[in-house]
Amino acid sequence: MGGHARQDRAHRGYEQTGMNYRHDYHAGNVGDVLKHVVLTLILEHLRAKPKPILVLDTHAGAGAFDLAGDAASRTGEWRGGIGRLLDADEAPAALRPYLDLVRGVREARGATLYPGSPLIAALGLRPGDRLVAVERHPDAHAALAALLARRPGVRVEAGDGYASLAALLPPPERRGLVLIDPPFEDRAEYQALATALAHAHRRFATGVFMLWYPIKDPGAVEAFHQQVIASGIARVLAAELTTRPTTTIAGLAGAGLILVNPPWRLEETLRDLLPWLAARLAEPPGAGGWWLDWLRGEA
């Protein structure tokens, strides 16, 4: 279902590039837009009920990024992502909580700052809610710990994000979101991600899981989806957003999300929102695509 993001998924005839996905170089790009829009929507849904939640961010990164800094300026990817949305007065209503949050961060902390997922989660915590943000890289961990220091309900840990799934699940709250967003240093990351999801879901079957992945190699993405299907998890929605056809470039064409136990009506919201984002972020105009479908469950 959806646009042409998936139509050439089986294609293999383009040059493959390295998979290493450094957040500071890619902050604010199309992958971040997709991830953070959906993150904001899920957190809004979870906060609609009074019971406390846990947010576990297994590969949290530095937490915030200067889009005028050396890394983000070198790629300029944010200009084709958040840079095309900040002045979008006609943006759909579902996009406004995300845009309001980004604008609020820029007003409060610096006009060129872009929030990462742990900061987005931390800003939405209510009394009794918790965020555990895990980061392995020493520099990113130090930056994250400084950014979120003394925030109520927030704990920043240094270590292996995958290992944190076994250590922290199931949470005593029995409600929450697990975000798994690894750096994709090689193709084996897809298999590690699918395996981690299967194990974590057995521990926390009622939780909401959101897994992020880059769309560079359609064959690797298809194999990843098949692994997720084979896990037997009952409710799995996949969403993808691309800014250009995967057959015409080497490198990042877009990004996708695996959503386990997605909130009620999230599918409907994304079915309205993804075409708008694909059109707005397409490069060149008309080249963007989107795809939304159930891998298992409610199709």
Which amino acids are annotated catalytic?
Answer: 181
Q: 32: burial class by Cβ within 10 Å (0-12, 13-18, 19+)?
A: buried
Asked if 208 contacts 258 with a C-beta cutoff of 8 angstroms, the reply is no
What's the full length of the chain, in residues?
299
Q: What is the DSSP string of 70-97?
A: HHHHHH-GGGGTGGGTTT-TT--GGGHH
109-114 long-range contacts, CB within 8 A, separation 24+? 109/64, 110/66, 112/66, 112/67, 112/68, 112/69, 113/64, 113/65, 113/66, 113/67, 114/27, 114/28, 114/32, 114/64, 114/65, 114/66, 114/67, 114/72, 114/78, 114/82
Task: Return the amino acid letter for 32.
Answer: D
Q: Which residues contact 280 (CB under 8 A, 6 or more apart)?
A: 84, 85, 88, 288
Conformation bin of residue 294: beta by default, left when phi > 0, alpha when psi is -120 to 50: beta
- Cα end-to-end distance, the chain, whole Å: 10
Closest CA to 86 of 124, 35, 38, 33: 33
Q: Match 């270590």 to its residue by tokens.
A: 159
Closest CA to 293 of 7, 10, 45: 7
